[in-house]
Structure 1
Amino acid sequence: MDSYMALWMFLAVFVVLLSGYPVAFVLSGTALMFALLGLQLDTFDADFLTALPNRLFGIINNETLIAVPLFVFMGVMLERAKIAESLLEAMSELFGSLHGGLGLAVTIVGMLMAASTGIVGATVVTMGLLSLPTMLKSGYHPTISCGIICASGTLGQIIPPSIVLVLLGDVMSSAYQQAQLEMGVFAPETISVGDLFAGAILPGLLLVILYLIYITLTAWICPASMPKPKITERHQSGFYLRVCRSLLPPLMLILAVLGSIIGGLATPTEAASVGAMGALFLAFINKQLSKDILQEVMHNTTQITSMVFMILIGAALFSLVFRGFEGDELIVELLSDLPGGKFGALFMVMLVMFLLGFVLDFIEITFVIVPIVGPVLLAMGIDPVWLGIMIALNLQTSFLTPPFGFALFYLRGVAPAAVTTGQIYKGVIPFIIIQLLLLGILAYFPELATWLPSIIYA
């Protein structure tokens, strides 16, 4: 009976979410309603609710989560510093002589912005405002243009420094410790955000390469959909100097942030503060730093950070009530009985996460689903870094999958009226397939995620 209550609570959350009510309050409100119902039916122990203050205090004391507002601040400030604008101009000139060159330029700029900001919304909106009118004016088909912008904008999910990896690293660390306790192992090892950052580098770069290959093949097979633009600026004096001036600032910031983490010189939180100061410096040298801009950036950072932590608090309450109804034991039983052992269980979890991505944001999936299934999978002996990168890559599809992919909404909000919603949905389908292809490659070759962390942190 208790386990079935956990399932009913799980289903109730999804039903209420479809009403459009804020996620944080859906999680906490549904959990409290079912807890009260369980107390009336004598199927729920109130002691689980008394653990909530300790959970919240643990969130407050978690130094890793301090990196979230710092990385958000860095991303919002870089977006206001017009780094993407100068990058796009330089890359467009560099690849302008090629069929599909503008698409290649947008993808590479999206990769650099992902490694600089880690915020999907800011990247998609910025690229949509800057590149979509240019691509349409150059004769690019709206479908392929929208697909490239949405896909390149979501690279911030997997390419570090990523807000997703910061949040996922904290959740995976707790899941890993719980799995060790369940196995009777009391070793102090844990999973750090730096492990996930290092593990995500090769899969992230491979995803960019697959995007570039697809764009190149599409331009070769259907040149009319991606014509060669008429660009003459490249032949003007100082072209390569302009390219270097556009590339060096974000590359130096990436090196400072990722290099300090991977090199062991700084924790992710310390590196995030370096990134925030670096973003302020770049805004200053670009003459985009003023009191009004700083106030706007601080306001946006506070909004995004508050949203993340409200969902985290709601997910903590939901998780406690879910465990109070023995939902974790039900999940263990269901995954253990699947054919194929741990690989069958992993496949089922990945499939469920992919389907949930059609209706849920990555934050809800990270805070609600991963704490439930993570300890079960890790107790089966699955490598935690590999599992973390698999989940991160799977969560990236949640930004692209219709009908509720956030990247689609971001682009719809800034796209011209001539671009239809159907064209945006159609454009992202090939890139979703590419992401699923990479997920299969990573499942077959776990070393893509585990090799670099094993070398760096050996």
Structure 2
Amino acid sequence: MIELLPLLLFVVVFIVLLFGYPVAFSLAGSALLFAAIGYVTETFDPVFLEAIPNRIQGILSNELLIAIPLFVFMGVMLEKSKIAEELLDTMGQVFGGMAGGLGLSVTLVGMLLAASTGIVGATVVTMGLLSLPTMLRRGYSPEISTGIICASGTLGQIIPPSIVLVLLGDVISSSYQQAQLDQGIFAPDSVTVGDLFFGALIPGLILVSLYALYIIVIAIISPEKVPPIPEDERKVSKELWMQVLTVLIPPILLIVLVLGSILGGIATPTEAASVGSVGAIVLSCFKRTFNLNILQKVMRSTTEVTAMVFMILIGASVFSLVFRGFGGDDLVRNFLVDLPGGVFGAVLLVMIVMFLLGFFLDFIEITFVVIPIVAPILLTMGLDPVWLGIMIALNLQTSFLTPPFGFSLFYLRGVAPDSISTPQIYRGVIPFIGIQLFVLGLLAYWPALATWLPNVVYG
């Protein structure tokens, strides 16, 4: 029975989360309750809890994690500056003359917003408010419209600069160093966020291309589901291309400044995020949308998101310590090592478990609770840390789309008109979940999709 306590702890946390209690307090509270029970029954050594202050200090002094509030600030500021609105209108005019053109424009804008903000909720809500009424008015199928918007919004999970990749960079680096120490390597290498950014570029572009291909196929097979914009509502070429230049240049310039400085080794992710935050303010001033009221709203949203992330991280650290105190890491290690199929079987099981957890848990919870447990074990088996990080990132991306608790579905449900039913939204995302799983399988079969670019850049 004692050996099953770590699993029982995990089950209790899962049940508490399903009751709707805050994640951070659910993790820490359940862990401390089990620690108290373990102390009374002499099955838990309280010395593990003595590491909590050091863990919290390490979290709050981690320079990499400062990038999170800066990237959030940049994303929310860009949302308030109406850049997304102008991009959607312009791209809709460029591609609107062809069947499926509005769908393609939403996908491309989703990619640009992902590369400039990385905030899924803001992207989905913005495109839901601006694009969904237009697509429905043009005769687009409700399922296809909602599926395109939800899936395009999740591109911020995999296309740099992604908050998921920033968080994963910290967790994977710690796991990789732990795996090397377990193997007797006392001068361990590390994995940087830049490694993951480079590794995510090719899979991210493949994902965007397959989204676009799916829309084109629908346009060929059933053009009535994705009709073009009537000719009398399109802008003339000269006027349109001038608008394209003025609308595209600012966000592309910001993307180059932020991503280029990171990928070029000129700045750390934290430094680049600060440049992006200032750049977002400059763009907002340029668009004449910046004022103290907007700044106050942006700062409030940034504070709320940042506080949530750091509280979850602290709660997950407490959970991790108690889980290890009960021998949970040894239990998981022995189980994965003894699986049939060796490394392949272990990776397959972990990916399946993460995918299923994504039906009920947010990516932040999975990142901070599950990955620190399984990643050191998988990396000890000889897996490439960048490849494993991108595999996990792609898998976590599906958590935004999988019913019943996919956050993109909730975001869109909150702004969609009453004529759109929840089952229609669920049906709309199924093909895109299939595309994401296909890319995940492609990456599993061909790891070079994630490892080739970092190896070329860093040698």
TM-score, normalised with respect to structure 2: 0.99
Match of 1:160 in 2: 160
Whole-Å separation in 2 of the counterparts to 1:245 and 1:3:
63
Match of 1:60 in 2: 60
Whole-Å separation in 2 of the counterparts to 1:105 and 1:256:
24
Q: Give the superposition deviation at 1:105.
A: 0.3
Match of 1:364 in 2: 365
Match of 1:439 in 2: 440
Q: Once the two structures are superposed, what CA deviation does each residue of 1:258-307 show, in whole Å capped at 9, x if it has no partner?
A: 10001000000000001101100110100110000000000000000000
Do 2:339 and 2:345's aligned partners in 1 also have CA atoms closer than 8 Å? yes
Q: Once the two structures are superposed, what CA deviation does each residue of 1:165-191 show, in whole Å capped at 9, x if it has no partner?
A: 000100111101110111111233101
Match of 1:386 in 2: 387
The 5-angstrom pairing of residues 9-408 of structure 1 reads 9-231=9-231, 232-235=233-236, 237-408=238-409
Q: Give the superposition deviation at 1:335.
A: 0.3
Whole-Å separation in 2 of the counterparts to 1:362 and 1:189:
26
Deviates more, 1:322-331 or 1:236-245: 236-245
The 5-angstrom pairing of residues 411-430 of structure 1 reads 411-430=412-431
Do 1:2 and 1:326's aligned partners in 2 also have CA atoms closer than 8 Å? no
Q: Give the superposition deviation at 1:236.
A: 5.3
Identical counterparts, % of pairs: 66
Task: Report the 3-state secondary structure (helix = DSSP H, G, I; strand = E; otherwise coil) of the residue aligned with 2:131.
Answer: helix
Whole-Å separation in 1 of the counterparts to 2:420 and 2:192:
42
Q: Give the superposition deviation at 1:375.
A: 0.2
Whole-Å separation in 2 of the counterparts to 1:417 and 1:14:
32
State the AA in 2 paired with 1:362.
Answer: F
Do 1:2 and 1:44's aligned partners in 2 also have CA atoms closer than 8 Å? no
Whole-Å separation in 1 of the counterparts to 2:11 and 2:339:
21
Whole-Å separation in 2 of the counterparts to 1:18 and 1:325:
24
Task: Report the 3-state secondary structure (helix = DSSP H, G, I; strand = E; otherwise coil) of the residue aligned with 1:161.
Answer: coil
Whole-Å separation in 2 of the counterparts to 1:91 and 1:173:
39
Do 1:124 and 1:149's aligned partners in 2 also have CA atoms closer than 8 Å? yes
Do 1:412 and 1:421's aligned partners in 2 also have CA atoms closer than 8 Å? yes
Q: Give the superposition deviation at 1:132.
A: 0.2
Whole-Å separation in 2 of the counterparts to 1:44 and 1:139:
62
Whole-Å separation in 1 of the counterparts to 2:227 and 2:183:
59
Q: Once the two structures are superposed, what CA deviation does each residue of 1:61-113 show, in whole Å capped at 9, x if it has no partner?
A: 10000000000000000000011111011101110111000000000000000
State the AA in 2 paired with 1:13.
Answer: V
Whole-Å separation in 2 of the counterparts to 1:348 and 1:234:
52
State the AA in 2 paired with 1:343.
Answer: F
State the AA in 1 paired with 2:183.
Answer: M
Do 2:180 and 2:188's aligned partners in 1 also have CA atoms closer than 8 Å? no
Whole-Å separation in 1 of the counterparts to 2:98 and 2:63:
47
State the AA in 2 paired with 1:323.
Answer: R
Whole-Å separation in 1 of the counterparts to 2:198 and 2:389:
11
Do 1:353 and 1:394's aligned partners in 2 also have CA atoms closer than 8 Å? yes
State the AA in 1 paired with 2:257.
Answer: A
Q: Give the superposition deviation at 1:340.
A: 1.1
Q: Give the superposition deviation at 1:339.
A: 1.0
State the AA in 1 paired with 2:276.
Answer: G
Whole-Å separation in 2 of the counterparts to 1:209 and 1:152:
11
Q: Give the superposition deviation at 1:157.
A: 0.2
Whole-Å separation in 2 of the counterparts to 1:287 and 1:203:
36
Q: Give the superposition deviation at 1:228.
A: 1.4
TM-score, normalised with respect to structure 1: 0.99
Whole-Å separation in 1 of the counterparts to 2:448 and 2:213:
22
State the AA in 2 paired with 1:431.
Answer: F
Whole-Å separation in 1 of the counterparts to 2:348 and 2:416:
36
Task: Report the 3-state secondary structure (helix = DSSP H, G, I; strand = E; otherwise coil) of the residue aligned with 2:396.
Answer: helix
Whole-Å separation in 2 of the counterparts to 1:88 and 1:2:
57
Unaligned runs of 5+ in 2: none
Whole-Å separation in 1 of the counterparts to 2:187 and 2:72:
33
Whole-Å separation in 2 of the counterparts to 1:172 and 1:238:
48
Q: Once the two structures are superposed, what CA deviation does each residue of 1:28-85 show, in whole Å capped at 9, x if it has no partner?
A: 0000000000001100000000000010111111000000000000000000001111
Whole-Å separation in 1 of the counterparts to 2:75 and 2:197:
17
Whole-Å separation in 1 of the counterparts to 2:86 and 2:3:
55
Do 1:23 and 1:311's aligned partners in 2 also have CA atoms closer than 8 Å? yes
Whole-Å separation in 2 of the counterparts to 1:261 and 1:87:
25
Do 2:158 and 2:164's aligned partners in 1 also have CA atoms closer than 8 Å? yes
Whole-Å separation in 2 of the counterparts to 1:303 and 1:119:
14
Whole-Å separation in 2 of the counterparts to 1:168 and 1:275:
20
Do 1:73 and 1:276's aligned partners in 2 also have CA atoms closer than 8 Å? yes
Whole-Å separation in 2 of the counterparts to 1:227 and 1:279:
35
State the AA in 2 paired with 1:336.
Answer: V
Q: Once the two structures are superposed, what CA deviation does each residue of 1:426-451 show, in whole Å capped at 9, x if it has no partner?
A: 00000000000000000011011001
Do 1:88 and 1:105's aligned partners in 2 also have CA atoms closer than 8 Å? yes
State the AA in 1 paired with 2:246.
Answer: R
Equivalenced residues, count: 458
Task: Report the 3-state secondary structure (helix = DSSP H, G, I; strand = E; otherwise coil) of the residue aligned with 1:238.
Answer: helix
